[in-house]
Chain A
């Protein structure tokens, strides 16, 4: 059973065909490297999956159930979480507050609903432990390393029972050591049976964690194969068009 299946997805913006007949299936716990040059349709595909907009034609299935997302919240409810490139994190707040941003748990004191900090700290500490990250719930994000920030953003996706996590260029702007940290986080997600779609330009990162590599070129899916059966050279050829398809 695939956790996510795309069938013949097309998306048109007026005369521009951003996605053309893309079909793809992702298994639970699979890490898929989604690659392609700028304008190849990666972002469009991610936005279709995340419910930012509906495809012009084609269907999205989650756990073999047909879905129709009208807004990102619909996708989130179906188990799709997005880690944005800028991480959508507030530097002035603690790690725990950031994990629960917009979904703060409350408890009642008389008629007043107050934010339950104790629960937030406990739960986020558990999530960081699960991710094997050393991030501390009370610390301000402002003072954290890039890897710890990623952990905060990823812990957020674990709050709800996510089935798929979409990550947009998580390793683009951080140091080499932090990249290793982020790749470890991705492995942790995978170990917990969560599928990860990793959008990246960085070939070594993709080959490091991804079990499957998918290449888009001009809105078409030109490759979908096991990472172990491919090579960075082949993928580069596929991205640029030197190799037609694989």
Chain B
């Protein structure tokens, strides 16, 4: 080919063929691992492949999956959000307090999401404009938001949700076409997030910031504004998960979502989000969350003490990051 046409040049890419491209993705291997774990459990236990257990697995992972979408955006932009567990509880508590006071669901839901967005906005402004490290800001927020949830509820359990009580329980705990509602909502949100990452300027800009923040500044990307929006997005996802989780549990206490940030970060990182910034996908977040839930479920079904869960989740983060390092070196 002495004189390739312009179209040839455009379509040329370093990876040849879709197979090579897929095998090169971390997420492919994670997905394979999840499928393998499911198959192994089906053979090893009688209880895994039952309808009831699968229903539980899909619903449980949906909450982590939804928040992992937001976390992936934050990590891809080069930050971290440790306050998602606390944002979840303050959202859950807001919707519960308002509904138990006799207000309708929509009022409670809007208030809960507004509070979540406010939490994200505070995080974002402190990080983007006051230039404080995300780790410190969101660690502070982790404490503040949970404490505010305690103040708001007087640290009491709430299990009466006023006139729309049944609707809330249906929304979080019910199913349509055999699919749990949190799963359906997670799928919708994952599609929207994937679209935003790939096709909106917002997505391009947040990956640019994560890749090289200095370049983003020099090329005129509104870095501070994007950063605030990313933390608000993460908080919104946690807020949505909070509202749904109240409906699933049918009651809420202030220890809801404790230590959840670690599971969510693990899901995002296992799914390919690069803690150094600049990488991550919505699909990866979902698959990462799925793998963690399957492992968690398998530990229970295989009769291994739940005390081991933390060991697995923690090791997973480290292994995923090590895997990424290894891959980068090889290239």
Contacts and interface: CB of A to CB of B under 8 A. Distances in A.
Interface stretch (A84-92, A188-196, A222-230): A84-92
Contacts of B279: 92
Nearest to B12: A136
Chain A contact residues (Cβ within 8 angstroms of B): what range? 20 to 34
B170 to A, nearest CB: 31
Contacts of B14: 136, 139-140, 143
A115 B201 contact: yes
A218 interface: no
Nearest to B209: A90
Interface in A91-148: 91-93, 97, 101-104, 106, 112-115, 121-122, 125-126, 128-129, 136-140, 143
A97 B212 contact: no
Contact of A101 (B200, B221, B331): B221
A210 to B, nearest CB: 25
A89 B212 contact: yes
A138 B199 CA distance: 15
A91 B205 CA distance: 13
Given A73-B220, A84-B218, A122 B9 contact: no
> What interface size band does chain B fall in?
20 to 34
Contacts, number: 89
Interface string B238-279: 000000000000000000000000000000000000100011
Contacts of B220: 73, 102-103
Interface in B19-57: none
Contact of B13 (A102, A129, A136): A136
23 contacts: A84-B218, A88-B215, A90-B278, A92-B210, A93-B211, A93-B278, A97-B204, A97-B208, A101-B208, A101-B221, A104-B204, A106-B201, A112-B200, A113-B200, A115-B199, A115-B201, A115-B203, A115-B204, A121-B10, A122-B6, A136-B9, A139-B13, A156-B219
Interface of B: 6, 9-14, 199-201, 203-205, 207-208, 210-212, 214-216, 218-221, 274, 278-279, 331
Interface of A: 73, 84, 86-93, 97, 101-104, 106, 112-115, 121-122, 125-126, 128-129, 136-140, 143, 156
